[in-house]
């Protein structure tokens, strides 16, 4: 009897599920049909706009153009400048959450809602190029550029995703990775920051691991290994130093070789053997690492230049003591770090590609570049800006910018962007989690994540 | 007249049903559609049938993540419900402004921004700089390992998830308790019911609906919670707190594999729906 | 916890409104044990009371710890926010973070969210009370199906973050993203299933005899619903309204993806602004989060009072 009932209700449920699904599918089909129509409508709208009033250039970024200072402020200024030079075009800047923006952009290219200008994270540029959603600048404003103009902009950042005859992006908010350190503590312990090798750095970090006058345990070298938001670490530094990239010439993960194994072992030793990194680093995000550095817990951290202004504005110790240095050299190779950042691109499906290109041209014109430096605390895009801002750059407050510029010239690498590399940062820290927390061997941990990376990205 | 009467319930239900179908079920249908394709970067490159589901259901990492999710959610739910009933019974004894103020305070965790609340807990628990270990050190004890140890990290995650939901359960249950007519309780006491009997035979049955609603809401809320585990532990250390929503998140937002992530989220949906139906059946809730 | 209590009560509270759900023969043996001498009991009770209060104070502190820490942080000068050793109070009470928050997008987000949740509450309640009335008072073909539909809406809305990108694509291809109505519709739909259910529970404690009497008096279906049933089920509607409000006020992931104009962003997005790409600004973040809690407490103070007093006064008549 009971069973019968159950059977009956099961049948009913099945019927019901089938019905709901069928209904849903109908709506979806209708939706997809409507979607295509939607695209056409939008195209029509565009046409109308051209005929009638002002055209609107849509920009997706994570900066807020209404900010009263900083990068957002500069973006707002660029908008003003552009609009004053392009009558008939208004720039609409929408600031999105940075961590979901790229996924949203990729989805929006399918539905006709994608913006004309998009900020693409350095990690995702390779994908964007492969998907064909970004337009080479050579088809737009750069076709008229002179050699001088190219040379003024040309450095490692400009090479992101570039081929011989195609540049896809303008690199903003450049973040040069290295070691962020406290010069006051170095002075106190009489340590010379010009390390010859990682051994020197580790020896210094051991000295700098002490209990300070507030009773706080200070550690020599800070890092965050949480998979939530991982960033730089020794393993990544070694990959860039030794290989200049995170994939080999076939697009396969390069961290499961000798270099990776030695580096991962070293990361473990930094906690267990040298004691310069606290064990709590396995649960710390890069965000918390910076917060801890501000609180005074670390003498050095694996950090990026872009964070230094925030650290300076929030720390309780002397802000001028926060400095940046390049990674020490190892195995006879000069230490190399990533020059990360955001790539401003033109959406290839945009109906206003020319205008979009011109907006990007505005973003890197001398006038705005000066503002990027002086208001946005950014490394100059143009070599000519260095002179224009010489006074600003020579003030002790901005010493870190000078260091970052030097590092950009001598120690920085860019992703090759020929291959998809998304998720590699998480893979690197996952290897650390597997080896340090889950007790896997260093080889196995690296092999596991390298395999996952290769399968996922299918290079 | 009679015919319009017959149509009346459908008329009443139509707007709600349309809204639910259009905003909730239809996108689900779209997710089902995605899950049948290789859909990286939301591009439908290849029809793969049920391959995504097979891939997801045969992946031991995801199965383990499901296991962890249920364990963590269930423990947190049980603790929350038991404590919520206890506190609701306790506050129920009091009336007036104090009881009311307490209710307001208890509800705060549920209404605070989840991510900010979680990050503040993480800050408090921070092993070297947090308030907790600072106090521990002041007392003269060795600082505790909190989030860097896989075992305690699970405990802390359960703690924060429980912290978030307990106020909601309590307010629901308290509302239920207050709605029990005084006369019913008095009658039971006159009949010689002791405290426990009053609770078991009068009060608990009478708050069945709020209990059921809280149980369903909080079960689903725990199982589907991404914010708390992601902000608190990010799934670590190791894989100790890697719950299923983190896997879905990574597949979608870090790897852009929307076919697989849709498949996984549909599996998650089916499981949670089955659970809700199970609860409703278990208490013989009648429609 | 489940099966036996159900057998005793026989249903949802109020369903058998007139009857007492108390079992006729409550065994009396335990109550005898409880009656020790009056003296010890009094002492016990006194101690229990103290113990209770201490325990509860402790729980309350734990419960509020992050909120308080956030509140205190929001009042510290910027250079003292992260400093060690942790202090409860900064060297001075500083309003700088609140000033910054109110200068920014917070106010727009606040007003937007107020508007969105207002619309969601009004429309949501209207739809929910109609649906709940149909579900609890009528027998009709396909009723179970509607119930499953409503039930399946709950995990879909709670788990919506997992499917946010397909959802975005779906709504975007319909041209429904980034419109003034996008978020109200989303908030209505996400909270509707639960609201229906809550009101269904409430309607069960409104005796059917009342509608029947009205019907005999010649009142039409709609009049019975809005003239008689709705006023009697205000408490459960308050509860549903509270649920809708909290859902609408606190939703973040879906809102942040479905709209992209600063003028349309809800409050949670303006809180997230302080966790940007360049790091967390703890001071303004805590200030914004603290300020965002206040309206929810106000709404709870209004609706919550109605919820409880209403339930006590209006529910089961005997």
Assembly ipTM: 0.88
pLDDT band at A41 (very low <50, low <70, confident <90, very high): very low
Phi and psi torsions of B233, nearest 5°: -125, -20
Q: How far is CA C201 from the centre of its chain?
A: 15
pLDDT of res. C3:
34
Nearest residue to C157 (alpha-carbon basis) of C167, C144, C147: C167
Nearest residue to C18 (alpha-carbon basis) of C192, C151, C209: C209
Question: Which fold does the domain C99-314 belong to in CATH?
Answer: MetI-like fold (1.10.3720)
Q: Does B184 touch chain C (CB under 8 A)?
A: yes
Q: Which CATH code of 3.20.20.70, 3.40.1280.10, 3.40.30.10, 1.10.3720.10 fits the domain covering B38-282?
A: 1.10.3720.10
* Six token digits for residue A76: 């707002």
Q: CA-CA distance, B172 to B207, in Å (whole number)?
A: 9
Q: Is A87 left (phi over 0), alpha (psi -120 to 50) or beta?
A: beta
Identify the H or E element spanning C275. strand C275-276
Q: Do C192 and B202 touch (CB under 8 A)?
A: no
Q: Which residues contact C171 (CB under 8 A, 6 or more apart)?
A: B27, C177, C182, C258
Q: Which residues of A337-360 are buried (b: 16+ CB within 10 A; e: fewer)?
A: bbbbbbbbbbbbbbbbbebbbbbb
pLDDT of res. C65:
92
Quote the minimal CA–CA distance from A75 to chain B in Å.
26
Q: Do B224 and C312 touch (CB under 8 A)?
A: no
The mean per-residue pLDDT over the stretch A308-322 comes to 93
pLDDT of res. A358:
95
Contacts of C164 in chain B (CB under 8 A): 252
Q: Does A392 touch chain B (CB under 8 A)?
A: no
Q: Does C78 touch chain A (CB under 8 A)?
A: yes
DSSP state of C24: S
Identify the H or E element spanning B37. strand B37-38
Contacts of A28 in chain B (CB under 8 A): 26, 29-30, 33
pLDDT of res. A294:
95
Q: Does C22 touch chain B (CB under 8 A)?
A: yes
Q: CA-CA distance, A297 to A291, in Å (whole number)?
A: 9
Contacts of A107 in chain C (CB under 8 A): 165, 168-169, 172
- Other beta carbons less than 10 A from residue A369's beta carbon: 25
Nearest residue to B31 (alpha-carbon basis) of B55, B53, B60: B53
Contacts of A225 in chain B (CB under 8 A): 236
Is residue C9 scored above 50 in pLDDT? no
* Six token digits for residue A226: 């949480």
Contacts of B41 in chain A (CB under 8 A): 106-107, 127, 131
Q: Do A111 and C173 touch (CB under 8 A)?
A: yes
Q: Which of residues 434-453 of A touch C (CB under 8 A)?
A: none
Q: What is the largest CA-CA distance in chain C?
A: 75
Q: Which chains are adjacent to chain B, needing at least 3 Cβ pairs under 8 Å? A: A, C
Q: Which of residues 120-159 of B touch C (CB under 8 A)?
A: 120-121, 123-124, 129-131, 134
DSSP state of C276: E
**A177-336+417-457: CATH homologous superfamily?**
Periplasmic binding protein-like II (3.40.190.10)
* Domain chopping of chain A, boundaries: 54-168+340-410, 177-336+417-457
Q: Is C72 left (phi over 0), alpha (psi -120 to 50) or beta?
A: alpha
Residue pLDDT, tens place only, C47-68: 877 887 888 788 888 889 999 9
Q: Do A438 and B21 touch (CB under 8 A)?
A: no
Residue to mutate among A9, A17, A280, A424, with most B CBs inside 10 A, is A280
Pairing of strands A412-413, A337-346: parallel
pLDDT band at C83 (very low <50, low <70, confident <90, very high): confident
Share of chain B above pLDDT 90, in %: 55
Same CATH fold assignment for domains A54-168+340-410 and A177-336+417-457? yes
Contact of B205 with C6, CB cutoff 8 Å: yes
Q: Does A434 touch chain B (CB under 8 A)?
A: yes
Is residue C90 scored above 60 in pLDDT? yes
Considering only A281-295, B146-160, C37-51, C118-132, which range has the smallest mean pLDDT? Answer: C37-51
- Residue B30 is nearest to which of A31, A127, A279, comparing CB atoms? A31
- Write down the pTM of the prediction: 0.87
Q: Which residue has the higher pLDDT, A430 or A16?
A: A430
Nearest residue to C150 (alpha-carbon basis) of C199, C112, C86, C106: C199
Q: Which residues of B31-58 are buried (b: 16+ CB within 10 A; e: fewer)?
A: bbbbbbbbbbbbbeeeebeebbbeebee
Q: CA-CA distance, B258 to A170, in Å (whole number)?
A: 29
Q: CA-CA distance, A151 to C146, in Å (whole number)?
A: 67
Q: Which residues contact A208 (CB under 8 A, 6 or more apart)?
A: A185, A186, A189, A191, A218, A219, A220, A276, A299, A300
Q: Provide residues of B within 8 Å CB-CB of chain A.
A: 21-22, 25-26, 28-30, 32-33, 41-43, 122, 126-129, 137, 145, 147-148, 150, 153, 230-231, 233-240, 250, 252-257
Contacts of C193 in chain A (CB under 8 A): none
Q: CA-CA distance, B155 to B227, in Å (whole number)?
A: 17
Contacts of C147 in chain B (CB under 8 A): 287
Q: Do A292 and B28 touch (CB under 8 A)?
A: no
Q: Do A437 and B240 touch (CB under 8 A)?
A: yes
Contacts of C172 in chain A (CB under 8 A): 35, 107-108, 111-113
Q: Is A65 exposed, middle or buried (0-12, 13-18, 19+ CB in 10 A)?
A: buried
pLDDT of res. A452:
92
Q: CA-CA distance, B173 to B204, in Å (whole number)?
A: 10
The mean per-residue pLDDT over the stretch A248-258 comes to 93
> Chains A and B: how many Cβ contacts under 8 Å?
114
Contact of A440 with A256, CB cutoff 8 Å: no
Q: Which residue has the higher pLDDT, A458 or A228?
A: A228
**A54-168+340-410: CATH homologous superfamily?**
Periplasmic binding protein-like II (3.40.190.10)
Q: Do C297 and B108 touch (CB under 8 A)?
A: yes
* Six token digits for residue B36: 């049948």
Tokens 């030097």 locate to: A406
pLDDT of res. B92:
83
Is residue A55 scored above 70 in pLDDT? yes
Q: Does B205 touch chain C (CB under 8 A)?
A: yes
Residue pLDDT, tens place only, B205-217: 878 777 888 898 8
Three-state secondary structure of chain A: CHHHHHHHHHHHHHHHHHHHHHHHHHHHHHHHHHHHHHHHHHHHHHHHHHHCCCEEEEEEECCCCCCCCHHHHHHHHHHHHHHHHCCCEEEEEEECCHHHHHHHHHHHHHHCCCCCEEEEEHHHHHHHHHHCCECCHHHCHHHHCCHHHHHHHCCHHHHCCCECCECCCEEEEEEEEEEEEEHHHHHHCCCCCCCCEHHHHHHHHHHCCEECCCCCEEEEEECCCCCCCCCCCHHHHHHHHHHCCCECCCCCECCCCHHHHHHHHHHHHHHHCCCCCCHHHHHCCHHHHHHHHHHCCEEEEEEEHHHHHHHHHHCCCCHHHEEEECCCEECCECCCEEEEEEEEEEECCCCCHHHHHHHHHHHCCHHHHHHHHHCCCCCCCCHHHHHHCHHHHHCHHHHHHHHHHHHHHHCEECCCCCCCCCCHHHHHHHHHHHHHHCCCCHHHHHHHHHHHHHHHHCC
Q: Does C20 touch chain A (CB under 8 A)?
A: no
pLDDT of res. A8:
53
Q: How far are the Cα atoms of A126, A335, A386, B165, C206 from residue A154, in angstroms, in the given order? A: 19, 22, 14, 55, 76
Q: How far are the Cα atoms of A246, B235, C131 from residue A126, in angstroms, in the given order? A: 13, 27, 50
Q: Which residue has the higher pLDDT, B2 or A313?
A: A313
> Which range in A20-34, B35-49, B176-190 is most confidently predicted, on average pLDDT?
B35-49
Residue to mutate among C153, C175, C263, C273, with most A CBs inside 10 A, is C175
Q: Does A100 touch chain B (CB under 8 A)?
A: yes
Contact of A276 with B231, CB cutoff 8 Å: no
Q: Does C130 touch chain B (CB under 8 A)?
A: yes
Q: How far are the Cα atoms of A260, A404, B87 from residue A411, in angstroms, in the given order? A: 20, 9, 61
Nearest residue to B113 (alpha-carbon basis) of C75, A62, C272, C102: C272
pLDDT of res. A37:
36
Q: CA-CA distance, C235 to C204, in Å (whole number)?
A: 12
Q: Which of residues 35-74 of B touch C (CB under 8 A)?
A: 42
Q: What angle do CA C76, C79, C83 make, to 5 degrees?
A: 85
Is residue A190 scored above 80 in pLDDT? yes
* Domain chopping of chain B, boundaries: 38-282
* Six token digits for residue B200: 């078991």
- Other beta carbons less than 10 A from residue B272's beta carbon: 22
- Residue B112 is nearest to which of C23, C67, C275, comparing CB atoms? C67
Quote the minimal CA–CA distance from B208 to chain C in Å.
7
Residue pLDDT, tens place only, A326-339: 999 998 899 999 99
DSSP assignment string, C77-120: -GGGSS-SS--SS-SS---HHHHHHHHTTHHHHHHHHHHHHHHH
Q: Which residue has the higher pLDDT, B212 or A140?
A: A140
pLDDT band at C2 (very low <50, low <70, confident <90, very high): very low
- Residue A226 is nearest to which of B29, B150, B234, comparing CB atoms? B234
Is residue B58 scored above 50 in pLDDT? yes
Tokens 């706080």 locate to: A216
Tokens 């019911």 locate to: B193
Q: Do C60 and B9 touch (CB under 8 A)?
A: no
Q: Which chains are adjacent to chain C, needing at least 3 Cβ pairs under 8 Å? A: A, B
Report chain A's mean pLDDT, rounded to a whole number: 87
Quote the minimal CA–CA distance from B238 to chain C in Å.
23
Three-state secondary structure of C114-165: HHHHHHHHHHHHHHHHHHHHHHHHCCCCCHHHHHHHHHHHHHHHHCHHHHHH
pLDDT of res. C36:
53
SS3 content of chain B, % helix, strand, coil (to 5): 75, 0, 20
């Amino acid at each position: 009897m009971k069973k019968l009932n159950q059977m009956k209700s099961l049948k009913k449920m099945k019927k019901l599920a089938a019905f709901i699904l069928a209904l849903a599918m109908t709506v979806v089909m209708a939706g997809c049909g409507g979607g295509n129509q939607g695209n056409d409508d939008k195209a029509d709208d565009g046409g109308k706009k051209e005929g009638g009033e002002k055209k609107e250039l849509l920009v997706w970024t994570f900066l807020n153009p209404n900010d009263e200072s900083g990068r957002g402020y500069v973006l707002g200024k660029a908008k003003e400048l552009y609009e004053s030079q392009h009558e008939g075009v208004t720039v609409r800047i929408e600031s999105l959450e940075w961590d979901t923006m790229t996924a949203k952009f990729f989805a929006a290219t399918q539905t006709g809602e994608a913006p004309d200008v998009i900020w693409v994270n350095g990690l995702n540029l390779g994908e964007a190029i492969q998907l064909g959603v970004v337009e080479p600048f050579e088809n737009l404003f750069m076709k008229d550029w002179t050699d001088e103009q190219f040379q003024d902009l040309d450095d490692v950042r400009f090479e992101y995703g570039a081929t011989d005859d195609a540049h896809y992006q303008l690199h903003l908010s450049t973040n040069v990775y290295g070691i962020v350190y406290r010069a006051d503590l170095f002075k106190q312990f009489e340590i010379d920051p010009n390390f010859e090798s990682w051994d020197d750095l580790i020896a210094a970090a051991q000295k700098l691991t002490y209990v300070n006058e507030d009773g706080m345990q200070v550690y020599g070298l800070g890092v965050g290994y949480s998979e939530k938001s991982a960033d730089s670490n020794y393993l990544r530094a070694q990959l860039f130093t030794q290989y200049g990239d995170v994939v080999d010439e076939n697009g396969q993960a390069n961290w499961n070789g000798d270099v990776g194994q030695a580096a991962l072992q070293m990361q473990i030793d930094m906690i267990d053997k040298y004691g310069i990194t606290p064990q709590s680093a396995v649960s710390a995000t890069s965000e918390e690492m910076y917060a801890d550095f501000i609180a005074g817990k670390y003498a050095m951290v694996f950090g990026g230049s872009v964070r230094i202004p925030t650290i300076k504005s929030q720390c309780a110790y002397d802000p001028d003591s926060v400095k940046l240095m390049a990674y020490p050299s190892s195995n006879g190779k000069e230490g190399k770090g990533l020059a990360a950042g955001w790539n401003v691109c033109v959406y290839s499906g945009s109906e206003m590609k020319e205008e979009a290109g011109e907006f990007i041209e505005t973003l890197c014109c001398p006038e705005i570049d000066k503002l990027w430096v002086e208001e946005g605390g950014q490394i100059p895009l143009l070599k000519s800006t260095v002179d224009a801002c010489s006074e600003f750059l020579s003030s002790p407050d901005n010493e870190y910018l000078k260091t970052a510029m030097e590092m950009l010239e001598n120690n920085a690498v860019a992703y090759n962007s020929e291959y998809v590399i998304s998720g590699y940062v998480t893979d690197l820290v996952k290897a650390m989690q597997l080896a340090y927390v889950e007790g896997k061997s260093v080889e196995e941990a690296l092999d596991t994540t390298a395999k996952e990376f290769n399968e996922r990205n299918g290079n | 007249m009679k015919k319009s009467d017959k149509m009346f319930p459908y008329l009443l239900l139509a707007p709600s049903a349309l809204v639910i179908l259009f905003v909730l079920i239809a996108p689900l249908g779209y997710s089902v559609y995605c899950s049948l394709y290789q859909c990286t970067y939301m591009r439908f490159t290849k029809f793969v049938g049920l391959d995504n589901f097979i891939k997801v259901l045969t992946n031991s990492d995801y199965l383990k993540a499901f296991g962890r999710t249920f364990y963590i959610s269930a423990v947190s739910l049980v603790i929350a419900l038991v404590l919520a009933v206890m506190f609701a019974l306790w506050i129920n004894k009091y009336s007036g402004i104090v009881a009311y103020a307490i209710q307001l305070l208890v509800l705060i965790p549920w209404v605070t921004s989840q991510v900010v609340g979680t990050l503040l807990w993480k800050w408090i628990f921070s092993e070297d700089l947090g308030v907790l270990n600072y106090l521990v050190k002041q007392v003269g004890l060795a600082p505790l390992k909190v989030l860097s140890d896989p075992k305690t990290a699970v405990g802390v995650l359960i703690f924060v998830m429980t912290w978030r939901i307990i106020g909601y359960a309590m307010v629901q249950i308290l509302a239920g308790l207050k709605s029990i007519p005084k006369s019913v309780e008095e009658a039971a006491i006159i009949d010689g019911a002791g405290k426990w009997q009053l609770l078991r035979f009068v009060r608990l049955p009478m708050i069945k609906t709020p209990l059921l609603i809280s149980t369903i809401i909080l079960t689903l809320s725990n199982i589907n919670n991404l914010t708390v585990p992601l902000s608190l532990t990010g799934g670590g250390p190791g894989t100790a707190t890697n719950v299923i929503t983190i896997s879905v998140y990574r597949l979608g937002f870090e790897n852009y594999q929307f076919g697989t992530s849709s498949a996984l989220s549909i599996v998650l949906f089916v499981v949670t729906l089955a659970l809700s139906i199970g609860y409703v059946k278990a208490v013989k809730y009648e429609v | 916890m489940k099966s036996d209590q159900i057998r005793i009560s026989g249903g949802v509270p109020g369903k058998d409104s007139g009857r007492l759900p108390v079992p006729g023969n409550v065994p009396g043996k335990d109550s005898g044990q409880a009656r020790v001498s009056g003296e010890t009991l009094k002492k016990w009770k006194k101690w229990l009371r103290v113990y209770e209060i201490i325990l509860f104070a402790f729980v309350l502190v734990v419960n509020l710890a992050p909120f308080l820490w956030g509140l205190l942080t929001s009042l510290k000068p910027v250079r003292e926010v992260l400093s060690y050793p942790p202090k409860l109070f900064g060297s001075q009470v500083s309003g700088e973070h609140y000033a910054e928050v109110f200068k920014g997008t917070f106010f727009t987000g606040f007003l937007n969210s107020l508007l969105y949740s207002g619309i969601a509450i009004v429309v949501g309640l209207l739809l929910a009370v109609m649906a709940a009335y149909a579900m609890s008072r009528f027998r009709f073909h396909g009723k179970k199906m509607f119930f499953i539909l409503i039930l399946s809406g709950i995990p879909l809305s709670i788990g919506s973050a997992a499917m946010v990108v397909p959802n975005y694509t779906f709504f975007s291809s319909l041209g429904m993203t980034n419109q003034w109505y996008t978020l109200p519709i989303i908030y209505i739909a996400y909270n509707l299933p639960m609201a229906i259910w809550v009101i269904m529970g409430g309607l069960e404690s409104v005796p059917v005899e009342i509608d029947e009497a009205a019907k005999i008096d010649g009142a039409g279906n709609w009049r019975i619903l809005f003239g008689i049933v709705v006023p009697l089920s205000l408490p459960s509607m308050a509860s549903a309204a509270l649920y809708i409000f909290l859902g609408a006020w606190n939703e973040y992931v879906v809102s942040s993806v479905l709209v992209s104009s600063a003028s349309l962003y809800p409050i949670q997005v303006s809180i997230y602004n302080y966790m940007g790409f360049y790091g967390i600004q703890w001071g303004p973040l805590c200030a914004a989060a603290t300020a965002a809690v206040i309206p929810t407490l106000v709404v709870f103070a209004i609706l919550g009072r109605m919820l409880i007093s209403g339930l006590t006064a209006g529910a089961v008549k005997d």
